[in-house]
Chain A
């Protein structure tokens, strides 16, 4: 009888300890905000300063995230934000990390609307075109 009680205590204890220590959960998530990063598409032409116009850029990339007025230039600023997270829950030890990455493109146009300079960010998000509705 005493032996059986001891076995039961051991079983319960092992179950509890195992549950606390090893019952694990994990999750991951991602999300995007901002304009579609079409500038990463393989179909985007080579922009030519002095030749490419503001209309060419908006025709292909759509409206910019921001239009910034400088003294004698106009800036088209495109940005796509990507958030990626991972979490591990072990009861005893839980950890989670979220990373936000900003894929950016910027275009400077002169008074005539001709491209003077453009630049893409070193940070790149995968280009995933949305399906046409």
Chain B
């Protein structure tokens, strides 16, 4: 009898405890990229063969004695688990634990001026973006990971005048920028503090 009497309170408490907002956010970019079925051979495979199987690359760049293709696929996941406590005032807040990771698939092909394959590489890796905790109002949802550096647009359609407004170091590096498709390619998620972009003085 006591259990039945306490059941309503138990139900409300259980709702607050378990029902404080868990969330799963997924973002997929170019999810259907598949590794090629045929074996490409250096010095033999023609760029037409790659185009026929994989289609146009997501990124392309001119090279001193040829050009290169890059194909990429990205899948980011963020899981948030929220917990609440049925205590006055505190019940309007939730304690959030969040985890995030992403799967990245990349294929690179470099060709010479005769359109023959010089070298190629492919990889599929999962990266852990870490974990995070927060206290949030109970009815809010706020992503806790900044994944913009790996989700940047493949083509920034309105970028050309914007570089004038970038920090000076980035503007000065524009001629060698890996975004323009004229001097090289860059995988998503590459830290800008090292390599070609290090001169842009990213923090």
Complex alpha-carbon distance, A34 and B155, angstroms: 8
Asked whether B2 is an interface residue with its Cβ less than 8 Å from the other chain, the reply is no
Q: In terms of DSSP, what is the predominant structure of the interface of chain A? A: strand
Q: How many residue pairs between the two chains, A and B, have CB atoms under 8 Å in the bound complex?
A: 124
Q: Which of A33, A117, A119, A122 has the most CB of B within 10 A?
A: A119
Query: Is A20 among interface residues, defined by CB-CB distance under 8 A?
Result: yes
Contact check, B11 vs A94: say whether CB atoms are below 8 A apart: no
B157 and A34 contact, CB distance less than 8 A: yes
- Contact-size category for B: 35 or more
Interface-lining segment among B61-69, B118-126, B127-135: B61-69
Instruction: Tell me whether A123 and B55 are in contact in the complex, defined as CB-CB below 8 angstroms, given that A93-B22, A95-B23 are known contacts.
Output: yes
Chain A: interface residue count, which band?
35 or more
Which one of B27-35, B168-176, B185-193, B194-202 is at the A interface? B27-35
Once bound together, how far apart are the Cα atoms of A74 and B180, in whole Å? 15
Interface residues of B in 23-82 (CB under 8 A from A): 23-32, 47-48, 51-52, 54-58, 60-62, 65-67
> A65-B157, A92-B21, A97-B28 in contact; A121/B8 too (CB < 8 A)?
no
Beta-carbon contact of A72 and B25 below 8 Å: no
Contact call A94/B56, Cβ cutoff below 8 A: no
Q: Which of A89-126 contact B (CB under 8 A)?
A: 91-102, 104-106, 117, 119-123
Q: Are B18 and A92 in contact (CB under 8 A)?
A: yes
Quick one: given A79-B154, A99-B31, are A13 and B55 in contact (CB under 8 Å)?
Answer: no
- CA of A79 to CA of B57, assembled, Å: 10
Q: Which of B8, B52, B155 contacts A66 (CB 8 A)?
A: B155
7 cross-chain pairs, A with B, having the tightest CB-CB distances, nearest first? A13-B8, A106-B56, A121-B55, A119-B51, A92-B19, A104-B56, A94-B23
**Which A positions have Cβ atoms within 8 angstroms of B?**
6, 9-10, 12-14, 16-17, 20-21, 33-34, 65-66, 68-72, 75, 77, 79, 81, 91-102, 104-106, 117, 119-123
**Besides the contacts A20-B15, A68-B67, A97-B28, what 13 more A-B pairs have beta carbons closer than 8 Å?**
A6-B5, A13-B12, A66-B60, A68-B181, A70-B62, A70-B67, A92-B18, A96-B25, A99-B27, A102-B154, A106-B56, A106-B60, A119-B52
